[in-house]
Amino acid sequence: MLQVSAIEDHFDEMILAFSKRGIKNIEEQLRSVLQLNNKRKSAQQELDALLQESNQLAKQIGQLYKEGKQDEANEAKEQTISLKEKSKELGEALNKLEEELTSALYNIPNVPHPSVPAGQTDEDNELIMTSTDQLPELGDDAKPHWDLIQDYDLIDFELGNKITGAGFPVYKNQGARLVRALINYFLDEATNAGFAEVRPPIVTNEASGRGTGQLPDKEGQMYHITDTDLYLIPTAEVPVTNLYRDTIQAEADLPIRNCAYTPCFRREAGSWGSHVRGLNRLHQFDKVEIVQVVKPENSYQVLDEMVAHVEKLVKSLELPYRILRLCGGDLGFTSALTYDFEVYSAAQKKWLEVSSVSNFEAYQANRLKLRYKNADGKKVLAHTLNGSALALPRIMAALVENNQIANGIKMPKVLKDYLGFEVISKKL
């Protein structure tokens, strides 16, 4: 969530920046935050004064009892009755104001970075670069990945349907091996680039969901285990970033750089349709995530470095790719700037999103109470960033489609040692 002080200091710039997201009533919302905050302050002051009075009275009463002045003590007690009532009322009012303020702040998304293009849909995203002007053309007999994975017995959706339901594929044979190879390759690359590997829990509590911003806004996107009130993670961002919730980091410990492999679970309520076949959209998928906690002045340079890391990965897999800067309308709620990576899936003739790299600035840090002590000894909110490096299923889809040959599927060279084979072939 945004800091009230930031809203106070940059009111007009914010309204201008928010226009890129195309949200209505933003000025109203910001004004009401400031109003609520002022009300909160004066209620606080009033309450503090009342409490001061009753604290003093209580001390006097104690003193009077000690001196054996029962009557005077009892007299003083009478006075506290009305004070108590008043402060109880005020306390409740203050709590309500604080709740309203927090919920108002929770409803306001992050402020888009100046470079974010205005726009409503993914059509308005800004193309930063494309790896090739010549998209691969396959012959007419080229098959989409959902056919290929059957031909080569790589993934069984029917089995997944049986044991769980739609969107939970069962990887088999060289398909399962490919998943494992990609996870190991991505983790190795991240580790080599200086990201310390962690293995977090893949179910988290509500506080963690709130910390990174999945809750309360996107409740419907996560699987909720109601009997223990826990959530299956939609991305490793949740547990990994929350590792640092409620902490004050030493300046010397920044940047914090982590990578993690986790399965990810998404309900994808309402986003299903005939256009999502095969691996294009799943309820459970595998992903390696990179996360950083940095000093504010470094966060955009770090964002570029993370983009470069992801680009290196995609390039090494020999897939055609492009990088987009998301427009205001497509930008995630908590993000200030996001770059998406898409790879070209040649049989579907479609670009598929395989990575999203974002700078959240202090938006998550404010919810997380994630701060560091700067050189002056002041506690400052850190900036958080994360990126997929990478999400597996669509990478697999593109690899399988783009590299199909007469009697097999060629695998990129970088995976050879991880796979133990160079070509996916039919079982004899």
Partner RNA sequence: AGAGGAGUGGCAGAGUGGUCGAAUGCACUGGUCUUGAAAACCAGCGUACCGCGAGGUACCGGGGGUUCGAAUCCCUCCUCCUCUGCCA
Q: Which is nearer to RNA, 81 or 163 (CB)?
A: 81
Which stretches does DSSP call E strand in 326-369? 337-345, 350-359
The only residue of 80, 130, 161, 284 in contact with RNA, by rule CB under 7 A? 80
Q: Which is nearer to RNA, 72 or 153 (CB)?
A: 72
d(CA 359, CA 336) in angstroms, rounded, equals: 6
CB of 197 to RNA, least distance (A): 21
The only residue of 19, 29, 32, 54 in contact with RNA, by rule CB under 7 A? 54
Residue 85 makes contact with RNA by CB under 7 A = no
CB of 234 to RNA, least distance (A): 22
The only residue of 22, 29, 39, 65 in contact with RNA, by rule CB under 7 A? 65
Residue pointed to by tokens 């997380």: 368
Residue 186 near residue 310 (C-beta atoms within 8 A):
no
For residue 193, the SS3 value is coil
CB of 28 to RNA, least distance (A): 22
The only residue of 77, 315, 413, 416 in contact with RNA, by rule CB under 7 A? 77
The only residue of 51, 138, 254, 414 in contact with RNA, by rule CB under 7 A? 51
Residue 62 makes contact with RNA by CB under 7 A = yes
The only residue of 9, 35, 52, 85 in contact with RNA, by rule CB under 7 A? 52
d(CA 278, CA 150) in angstroms, rounded, equals: 11
Cβ neighbour number for residue 277 with a 10 Å cutoff: 14
Cβ neighbour number for residue 102 with a 10 Å cutoff: 13
The residue range among 54-62, 155-163, 218-226, 262-270 that interacts with RNA, by the rule CB under 7 A, is 54-62
Residue pointed to by tokens 């009753």: 54
**Token pair for 146:** 């959902």
End-to-end CA distance of the chain: 57
For residue 95, the SS3 value is helix
**Token pair for 312:** 């290196």
Q: Which is nearer to RNA, 21 or 40 (CB)?
A: 40
DSSP 393-423: HHHHHHHHHHTEETTEEEPPGGGHHHHS-SE
Cα–Cα nearest to 339, from 378, 381, 389: 389
In DSSP terms, which residues pair with 379 in a beta bridge?
Answer: 373
CB of 67 to RNA, least distance (A): 12
Q: Which is nearer to RNA, 218 or 369 (CB)?
A: 369
Q: Residue 190: what are its φ and ψ, rounded to 5°?
A: -65, -45
**Token pair for 296:** 């504010």
Q: Which is nearer to RNA, 59 or 199 (CB)?
A: 59
DSSP state letter for 319: -
CB of 208 to RNA, least distance (A): 13
Residue 312 makes contact with RNA by CB under 7 A = no
Q: Residue 126: what are its φ and ψ, rounded to 5°?
A: -95, 125
Q: Which is nearer to RNA, 107 or 205 (CB)?
A: 205
Residue 303 makes contact with RNA by CB under 7 A = no
The only residue of 8, 9, 59, 308 in contact with RNA, by rule CB under 7 A? 59
Residue 248 near residue 373 (C-beta atoms within 8 A):
yes
**Token pair for 214:** 């999945």
For residue 283, the SS3 value is coil
Q: Which is nearer to RNA, 9 or 48 (CB)?
A: 48
Q: Residue 3: what are its φ and ψ, rounded to 5°?
A: -85, 140
Region 19-48 residues binding RNA, contact defined as CB under 7 A? 41, 44-45, 47-48
Q: Which is nearer to RNA, 52 or 115 (CB)?
A: 52
The only residue of 15, 23, 58, 170 in contact with RNA, by rule CB under 7 A? 58
Site map (CB under 7 A) of RNA, residues 377-406, x = contact: --x---------------------------
Residue 298 makes contact with RNA by CB under 7 A = no
Q: What residues make contact with RNA under the rule CB under 7 A? A: 41, 44-45, 47-49, 51-52, 54-59, 61-62, 65, 77, 80-81, 84, 379
